Amino acid sequence: MTQLQSLRGMVDLLPEQTCRWQAVEAVARVHFQRWGCREIRTPLLEVTELFARGIGEATDVVGKEMYTFQDRGDRSCTLRPEGTASVVRSALQNGLLSQGAQRLWYGGPMFRYERPQAGRQRQFHQIGVEWLGVSSAASDAEVIALAWDLLADLGVEGLALEINSLGTPDDRLAYRTCLVEWLEARRDQLDADSQQRLSTNPLRILDSKHPQTKALLEEAPLLEQSLAPESLARHQAVLQALDALAIPYQCNPRLVRGLDYYGHTAFEITSDQLGAQATVCGGGRYDGLVQQLGGAATPAIGWALGMERLLLVLEAAATANPDGRAAQLVQAATPDVYVVNRGEQALQAALVLTRQLRSCGLAVERDESGSAFGKQFKRADRSGAAFALVLGDEEAERGVVRIKPLKAVPDADGLADQQDRSLNDLPALVEALKKGANSVATSGD
């Protein structure tokens, strides 16, 4: 029988990888709590209209990349390709916006049918923030600061912020007219994809990766030339707030983002940790989205970061600086204690001891092989544990456990050398093991 495989672009997260993800998520949760953000969890499956109306039917996401199907009730359903539209739908449906401004965050899988590559899969994962009901330029800078501080705390180096203003709908309409006229006169110089976008979503041409089109766009009119004075003033206020926060930035007049709901501030945070600048976080203001989805006009801003790309960046950072913050986050989880045991009487004593130690807060791995002590000690060394606890039938009969240090243990209550401890004095054993494990951790061994 043929062995089944996962679908292309649907990748398993194995235990070692999952530990890294959990470490990143734990840091993010701390930052969100400090910034007053509350978690929201939305369904993976939504009605297709939510994304067609919210993201925009002319976008690549809606037009080419969504996983859409008819369910048994003949409803068009879509696996969510991004998180913002679902969060806004939930906030409207559940009356959150009637309770004042909302600072929300989410995390989980998203789905887009695109060509899989490093850091980008068809099922991918995002952590995102949505601030609903906030309109000031200061809030734009503040939500960017949240992303910047989180990435810095994760150990991501080489951070750079690119920012632009997309202005109001009227600003973009005026610019669209100007841009289309300019591009139409040069249609034959555009790549095929950009020629198609010219009649559907011309602003997306500005984000083209085609070399010839990119070179042509160097001479194209800029969006900022179509911004009303009020939009320009607002953008300047955002930049001044970033200056006050000492967050460096580069204005990028070609930055448009890929979703139709953005207006005014749009930004991306990149890192050079992978050799070239790679986007790890992107977002912006979307004041019209709530109204597009049936609510009252409500200002809003948010961002999302891709976990797959972020983990690649962190692994590169850990390689570049083995003693840095990123290296601490991506290192594999290790037990405090590894229990080596052999013999029937030793097995029973080991089962009881490991349960007791775990209930006292220690991470304990017990060897279940029953193989010779020499082989078990090799596995104990590979586990990364600070100590091996050795139980043979002889130790079990005497009511003791042998403590064998697997790492250098400075000033650890006499645990620097192998010794026996009574099984009947659990508090003393636990205290000695915890003290020894802490000494190993603080010594950096």
State residue 53's pLDDT score.
87
How far is the C-alpha of 164 from the C-alpha of 187, rounded, in Å?
26
State residue 413's pLDDT score.
52
Q: What are phi and psi of 436, to 5 degrees?
A: -65, -40
State residue 443's pLDDT score.
59
How far is the C-alpha of 66 from the C-alpha of 304, rounded, in Å?
18
Return the bridge partners of 104, or none.
38, 130
CATH architecture entry for 334-443: 3-Layer(aba) Sandwich (3.40)
State residue 220's pLDDT score.
87
**Taking the domain 15-168+228-328, which CATH number applies?**
3.30.930.10
DSSP-based three-state secondary structure for 50 = helix
State residue 61's pLDDT score.
81
Helices 307-320 and 15-34, interaxial angle, to 10°? 100
pLDDT in tens, 234-286: 999 999 999 999 999 999 988 876 666 788 999 999 999 887 778 999 999 99
How far is the C-alpha of 253 from the C-alpha of 164, rounded, in Å?
6
Ranges of each domain in the chain: 15-168+228-328, 334-443
State residue 433's pLDDT score.
87
In this prediction, the residues of the chain whose per-residue pLDDT falls under 50 are: 412, 445
State residue 117's pLDDT score.
84
Helix (H) or strand (E) segment spanning residue 153:
helix 137-153
State residue 222's pLDDT score.
87
Q: What are phi and psi of 344, to 5 degrees?
A: -65, -50
The answer to whether 393 touches 344, Cβ cutoff 8 Å, is yes
Structure tokens at 143: 């939500």
State residue 246's pLDDT score.
97
